[in-house]
Structure 1
């Protein structure tokens, strides 16, 4: 693994969930010459190798995390809060899809949009 690739993997690991732009900003603190194109290419390669995965948490750039970081993302479409639940929370849906369609659900690569408890109760301000 090249030093630049290791920097990208380390940044993804440290940030937990991060867009390519956030990853690039983190890396530039250590190596200012790394550009966004290098980050995108490296993320593609790391995903092919099974080291990272991406999820679309809404509009805009995908969010990357290390592959072992598996859960379902819950995204509030009012305030943007991000929460996580175990993939097992969708086990019943996975079984239904398998039985009815032969479809194997990968819940670790999934984001559900809705309204968080704070927004639902009217406690959160809109952002």
Structure 2
């Protein structure tokens, strides 16, 4: 969504696209996946006045309610936010090094179908996180076990 479309989106809902909202949305767009702390740091680097973390959280909540951003929990810490149109993959989180990689949604389609069939439950795979071990960490674990 470009800047003008976002302005119109807010206006159509009786809301203003304020400076802080614009800056926070731009930071989410720039970072791809980011915690509120990382978003606040990016906003601080954009040349404008620093924003309180509470403003970042409130704005992220408002953007999520409007359907512009979504969040997922990659671990036990803060949620990670991203643009809704970026929700085209499954998150793979390494339990060894903490690295995060993406896999296409197609890798989880069969799992979602099986869950629906077995439990009559519609899985939202766009927010799916799979924890495991990356290639490097698996290799290190295998060496330690040997």
Q: What's the TM-score, normalizing by structure 1? A: 0.92
Cα-Cα RMSD: 1.2
| Equivalent residue, structure 2, for 1:100 | 118
| Equivalent residue, structure 2, for 1:118 | 136
Aligned mates of 1:14, 1:61 — CA distance in 2: 19
Using the TM superposition, name which of 95-104 and 40-49 deviates more.
95-104
Contiguous gaps of at least 5 residues in structure 1? none
Aligned residues: 123
Aligned mates of 1:46, 1:106 — CA distance in 2: 19
Query: Does residue 48 of structure 1 match 2:48?
Result: no
| Equivalent residue, structure 2, for 1:34 | 51
Higher relative contact order, structure no. (Cα contacts within 8 Å, ≥ 6 residues apart): 1
Higher-Rg member (1/2):
2
Using the TM superposition, name which of 48-57 and 93-102 deviates more.
93-102
Out of 31, 51, 72, the position equivalent to 1:15 is: 31
After the TM superposition, which segments of 4 or more aligned residues of structure 1 sit over 4 Å from their partners? none
Superimposed CA distance per residue, residues 4-44 of structure 1 (whole angstroms, 9 cap, x where no aligned partner): 11111110010011100000011112223311000000000
Aligned mates of 1:44, 1:82 — CA distance in 2: 23
Aligned mates of 1:37, 1:101 — CA distance in 2: 39
Contiguous gaps of at least 5 residues in structure 2? 1-16, 142-146
SS of the residue 2:101 aligns to: strand
Aligned mates of 1:13, 1:80 — CA distance in 2: 22
Aligned mates of 2:127, 2:119 — CA distance in 1: 19
Higher fraction of helix: 2
